[in-house]
Amino acid sequence: MRISDDEFEHAIEEALQRIPPRFHQALNNIGIAMADESDDRELATMDDPDGELLGLYEGIPLPQRSNDYGGVMPDIITIFKGPHERICRTHEELVDQIRKTVMHEIGHYFGFDDATLHAHGY
């Protein structure tokens, strides 16, 4: 599947609308960014170097924050366009996968590791 950046941004917006309402408050503290592909630093965060990096959470997870937390830049979830294009065949599949990717990255914000998130389908 190949789509324009504008179409991918629209698919991200559509996916965000499908996130359960209880998670929307978390998104107030998290910026959503888009990138074509991950770089070497981002790829180094993966457990499976042969897999596709669909998204990446960067920030301080809630369980690691102390009372001194403040005055820091917002957390960021980056959604990578290229990997989504490679694994999705339809628009509906793309939007659903972006939703799953965002939910997975929100899980990291709440302090869950990959094993826990995968066990719950994210």
CA 77 – CA 49 distance, rounded (Å): 20
Q: What mean pLDDT do residues 27-47 have?
A: 90
Residue 27 in this model has a pLDDT that exceeds 80: no
Q: What percent of the chain has pLDDT over 90?
A: 61
CATH of the domain at 20: 3.30.2010.20
Q: Which residue has the higher pLDDT, 50 or 40?
A: 40
* Per-residue confidence (pLDDT) for residue 9, from 0 to 100: 97
Q: d(Cα 22, Cα 40) in Å, to the nearest integer?
A: 34
Mean pLDDT of the chain: 91
Side chain identity, residue 103: M
Compute the residue count for the chain: 122
pTM summary value: 0.90
**Which domain range does residue 63 map to?**
5-119
CA gap 12, 81 in Å, rounded:
10
Calculate mean pLDDT across residues 2-28: 91
Torsion angle of C-alpha atoms 44, 47, 60, 31, degrees rounded to 10: 80
Q: Number of structural domains, the chain?
A: 1
pLDDT surpasses 80 at 46: yes
Query: Is the per-residue pLDDT at 78 higher than 90?
Result: yes
**Residue 119 — pLDDT band, cuts 50, 70, 90?**
confident
